[in-house]
Structure 1
Amino acid sequence: MQNELVIVIDFGGQYNQLVARRVRENNVYCEIYSYKIDIEKIKELNPKGIILTGGPNSCYEEGAPSYSKELFELGIPVLGLCYGAQLMMHTLGGKVEKAPVREYGKTATFVNNGVELFDGVEDETTVWMSHFDYISKMADGFEEIAHTADCPVAAAQDETRKLYAIQFHPEVLHTVRGKQILSNFVYKICGCAGDWRMDSFAESKIKEIREKVGDGKVLLALSGGVDSSVAAVLLAKAVGKQLTCVFVDHGLLRKNEGDEVEQIFGPSGDYDLNFVRVNAADRYYEKLAGVDEPEKKRKIIGEEFIRVFEEEAKKIGKVDFLVQGTIYPDVVESGLGGESAVIKSHHNVGGLPDYVDFKEIIEPLRDLFKDEVRKVGLELGLPEYLVFRQPFPGPGLGIRIIGEVNAEKVRLVQDADYIYREEVGKALDKYAEEHDGEAAPWKPDQYFAALTNMRSVGVMGDERTYDYAVALRAVQTIDFMTAESAQIPWEVLQTVMNRIINEVKGVNRVMYDLTSKPPGTIEFE
């Protein structure tokens, strides 16, 4: 499937993936490349537009990431963001210096909405600034099209050469009209038609897989997560019984999840495939006995998964294709396309290809971001509760139990987590009903219960207790790189606390974690 293309050239900005996602939200296909990508490769890709990301460096310093002047002479529209804007000016003869006043955060900005880039944007708008340097002198051919109280060139353009430099970040939600600005760039300036759609993706991908596999045998490690589930459905629709899905239930899943996965993909489900469920909980608990160091737990859980999967693969015999649920962020984080040709194609199965006998890897989702994977899942008819399943770490509840893992602790955290998610879900549904379908402002992007290793004295009835404390976690985040604690209403937390203490035997205390990321992490271990 050949789509029109916009490329993002990354200069080390923290929002590189977000820029590409925002472009794709406009139904325009977008890929990310390192600033080390060769100019000949760019010509070969023949993109409709190029976006230069932000970055932590100063473009005028020796050794700072840069690009040749030829990039701006290709006749392809270029949009520079923050560092990308400064680099454009610096390369073309303008001047960038340390700013007298640093701008950071939400900033009132005055724009010329008579230019194409800002069409539909109010004269005064709020944008997200993050810079130490500023453009003190524009390169020849440029005109200023936006400014702030402290930044004389918040945006500039050379309309003849279709070069645009903006000092702020349109890709983050804090820039109020950021989506409009990026839409203007890809449609009005680059002339894109918007041919990147998930319905056509699923259809063409199924056809492509069918042609590649022929009459071969296919093996997939099914975790029950969004990525592997969508990959399984794509393969099942393409090759049916030629596919075998191995689901390793390590006993560290959320309550009822193992049965839910089997209900969808097993013999009574809607998909014509071979489904193998391995109930390996006791085996995992035995390996984890006495282990309390987080990294050691992770390694044991990952290693044991490989051992179990290997055993099942040997029973199946020779397979032609191994399927992995690798998605685009995995590809980007393993080495950007222009810098490294080696992609971590073994990412999701931790090295399995070294000893599973197969001919080729199939990664049907490697071009998609998570939100796009979800759209494909819905398009294919997967149930919403699975498609919008909350992020869940590979080691599962093993890293939501502080200290040693055993069957009793797993039961405690499963039951507490189930109650928490149920009550938050009810509260979100109630808010939506009362506000014409609007999402609650406190809606968390991820929320779960963890079992602390702390036990404390309590009183239940007339009896003294000495039981565990549960910690509730809920965060709001754009990209999971940073996160803030969600302000769940007090009455919802009170209901959750009462239910957990009354219904989960072995827990007598409930706490709410207010820690942001950084300094904390989203998971506990």
Structure 2
Amino acid sequence: MKNPDAIIVLDFGGQYCHLIARRVREQNVYSEIVPCDVSPNEISALYRNLNVKGLILSGGPSSVYEENAPMINPEILKLELPVLGLCYGHQLIAHLFGGKVTRGEGQEYGLTYVEIIKPVGVLKNLGPKEKVWMSHSDVVYSLPEEFEVLAKSEACPVAAYRHTQKPIYGLQWHPEVTHTEHGTEMLRNFIFEVCKCQPNWTPTSAVDNESLKRIAGKGKAIIALSGGIDSSTAAVIAARILGDDLVAVFVDHGFMREGEGEQVKKTFRSFGVNVKVIDARERFMKKLRGVTDPEEKRKIIGREFIRVFEDVARKVGAEYLIQGTIYPDRIESGFRRRSDRIKSHHNVAGLPTKIKFKEIIEPLRNLYKDEVREVAKSLGLPDEIVYRQPFPGPGLAVRVIGEVTPEKVELVRKADRIVREEIERSGLSRRLWQYFAVLTGTKSTGVKGDARAYGEVIAVRIVESREAMTASFAKIPYEVLERISTRITNEIPSVTRVVYDITHKPPATIEWE
């Protein structure tokens, strides 16, 4: 649908910012994240494609009274749009209107009970007590004129408020986090009761078909096809619009999982997609020789991908490049002004500065992974593609810590196959986001055949997630982990130890590199 109702999220650097956008989208209302220092003109410019109905100010790690604390342009609050401040955003609104924000006498981290004093607006039909997720040390101590308290907790005298004349609300807690018992109802109240949004957005409506239609009939296009859910969905969408003008380029860089290349070719040829297979294994391995820095590896792989595409483009006369980049790829690669880049995505920050294509088109650039799956199902893609676990573009090269060699890649490929086989055999695969093996680059003493052994250490990484922006390590039954460990050490003689990664994201990323 053109110009769907939308809620804009202003990002103050909070770890849950992306969850706010996801929770809004789950209500079939579009949401987009913008930097907190966005100008009123930039907000107004969004009206060209969106019917902006409200703003949410995210949480963040700063204190509003600190020097250089992130601020919002005060003119934003004069746009006559409903506003909801969460955590830092809650404190900032009170601060900007003349209220007092101070360090609290006690900190509130985790589950807290709040007393609902006035169940109106965002808190309509809630109370008298609500279990919420807090994460703050500052509090709104006193409210500005024309504001009233809606809720309080033991450590927070103003846990929620509203402006009595304008549709402005603040919550000290995080309704977007699942631990807040009725967080969805709170957000729904803001979206539908306060902002009067209509649920007129779906993931399929966010696919950028228009850019593809604009180039249809104007020349050949190529798409990077890995067989993952993102590139696969983008390829099918592009093929239906561009037809024979699309060439799907499958680059065998030598870092694919076992049997993956053949599966990709078979699947997409059955869909009528013109797949061109490029054997570039020696080329990539040569470029990575001696490279140990993960950022450098990703950039080299991204650069070589583009150069391979350029070679194919010249041969087939293609002028356009299509990619399966999705929303988290852009966020993690530093498109958020107040965020450090976590890692380069090979489709984003790893691109060369001079690209010999007229245009790069990313039809899925505004979607999260689970939304891409919805689109894929609507297109009729087979389950083995729809539910295929995410796999990084650089492949196993970023699952080998340190220098990449053919021997190391083959080792981690075998370990990865064992992990996948055991997880799928256990029936756990559908509830897991990713499960894979990492060659850690360290060695450990072991005992094999009554003799001392000194071999490689494999880490097993298994996580649960909804959108890949946050993830929890999976609590896998010990017997499954035992089978994985036993098989790896038995079937791969050079491995003497298997460890299980129990780190959440954050602080870790899902991939080790």
How high is the TM-score relative to the length of structure 1?
0.86
1:109 counterpart letter in structure 2:
V
Q: Residues 446 and 124 from structure 1, CA distance in 2 versus in 1: closer, same or farther, beyond 3 angstroms?
A: farther
Aligned-partner Cα distance in 1 for 2:176–2:475 = 25
- 1:252-263 pair list within 5 angstroms: 252-263=255-266
- Paired residue for 1:359? 358
Contact 1:112-1:118 at 8 Å conserved across structures: no
Contact 2:222–2:309 (CA under 8 A) maintained in structure 1? no
- Asked if 1:394 is matched to 2:393, the reply is yes
Structure 1 residues 219-273: Cα deviation after superposition (integer angstroms, max 9, x where no partner): 222233322221111110111111011111111111222122212223xx213x3
- Hey, what's the Cα distance between the residues in 1 that align with 2:507 and 2:98? 41
The residue matched to 1:47 in structure 2 has which SS?
strand
Question: Could you report, residue by residue, the CA deviation over 1:80-129 in whole angstroms, capped at 9, with x for unpaired residues?
Answer: 11111111112222221121212122212222473231235443222221
Cα drift, residue 334 of structure 1: 4.3
1:241 to 235, 239, 244: 244
The farther-off stretch of 484-493 and 505-514 is 505-514
Unaligned runs of at least 5 residues, structure 2: none
Instruction: Tell me the matched-pair count.
Output: 502
Change (3 A) 1:456 1:331: closer
In the alignment, is residue 30 of structure 1 matched against residue 31 of structure 2?
yes
**What residue is the counterpart of 2:484 in the other structure?**
496
Q: Give how far 1:290 is off.
A: 5.0
Please name the residue that 2:226 is paired with.
Answer: 223
- Corresponding residue for residue 320 of structure 2: 321
The residue aligned with 1:415 is 414
What is the SS of the residue equivalent to 1:17? helix
Q: What is the Cα deviation at residue 134 of structure 1?
A: 0.8
- Counterparts of 2:478 and 2:209, CA distance in 1: 47
2:169 partner amino acid: Y
Query: Is 2:448 aligned against 1:459?
Result: yes
Query: Residues 268-298 of structure 1, C-alpha deviation per residue, up to 9 Å, x if partnerless?
Result: x213x32111122233334444555544544
Contact 2:225 2:248 in 1 (8 A): yes
1: CA distance, partners of 2:419 / 2:176: 33
Structure 1 range deviating more: 304-313 or 45-54: 304-313
CA–CA distance in structure 2, aligned partners of residues 349 and 12 of structure 1? 20
* Distance (whole Å) between structure 2 residues aligned to residue 68 and residue 96 of structure 1: 19
Aligned residue identity for 2:7? V
The 8 Å contact of residues 119 and 150 in structure 2, kept in 1 or not, is answered as no
Match of 1:436 in 2: none
Structure 2 equivalent of residue 450 of structure 1: 438
- Secondary structure of 1:523's aligned partner: coil
* Number of the residue aligned with 1:425: 424
| Alpha carbons of structure 1 residues 95 and 508: separation in structure 2 relative to 1, 3 Å | closer
- Superposed CA offset, 1:129-149 (max 9, x none): 122211111122222111111
2: distance between equivalents of 1:60 and 1:478?
35
Residue 126 in structure 1 maps to residue 131 in structure 2: yes
Question: Residues 331 and 489 from structure 1, CA distance in 2 versus in 1: closer, same or farther, beyond 3 angstroms?
Answer: closer
Inter-CA distance 519–15: structure 2 relative to 1 (3 Å threshold): closer
Q: Retained in 1: the 8 A contact 2:299–2:346?
A: no
- Residues in 1 aligned to 2:502 and 2:366: alpha-carbon distance in whole angstroms: 35
Listed as ranges, the matches of 1:168-187 within 5 Å are 168-187=173-192
User: Post-superposition shift, 1:325?
Assistant: 2.3
CA distance in structure 1 between the aligned counterparts of 2:161 and 2:283, rounded to whole angstroms: 62
SS in 2 for 1:140: coil
Query: For the Cα contact (< 8 Å) 2:299–2:349, is it kept in 1?
Result: no
- Partner in structure 2 of residue 85 of structure 1: 90
Distance 1:276 1:353 in 2: 25
> Equivalent residue for 2:304?
304
Of 507-516 and 255-264, the range deviating more from structure 2: 507-516
Residue 421 to residue 121, structure 1, CA distance change in 2 (3 Å): farther
What's 1:65 paired with?
70
Letter in 2 for 1:449: A
**Aligned partners of 1:177 and 1:423: how far apart in 2?**
37
| Range with greater deviation from structure 2 (131-140 or 406-415) | 406-415
**Cα deviation, residue 26, structure 1:** 0.6
Cα displacement string for residues 133-187 of structure 1 (whole angstroms, at most 9, x for unaligned residues) = 1111112222211111111111111254111111111112222221221111101
Indicate yes or no: 2:96 matched with 1:97.
no
Given the alignment of the two structures, is residue 50 of structure 1 paired with residue 65 of structure 2, yes or no? no
What residue in structure 2 maps to residue 264 of structure 1?
Answer: 267
Tell me the alpha carbon deviations over residues 190-213 of structure 1, each in whole angstroms, 9 at most, x when there is no partner: 1111100134455xx546633442
Q: CA deviation at 1:216?
A: 2.4
8 A contact 1:28–1:196 mirrored in 2: yes
8 Å CA contact 1:38–1:338 kept in 2: the answer is: no
Alignment partner of 2:498 out of 505, 510, 516? 510
**Cα 1:282–1:140 shift into 2, 3 Å:** same
Aligned-residue offset at 1:24: 0.9
Amino acid at match of 2:29: V
What is the CA–CA distance in structure 2 between the aligned matches of 1:408 and 1:362, rounded to whole Å? 36
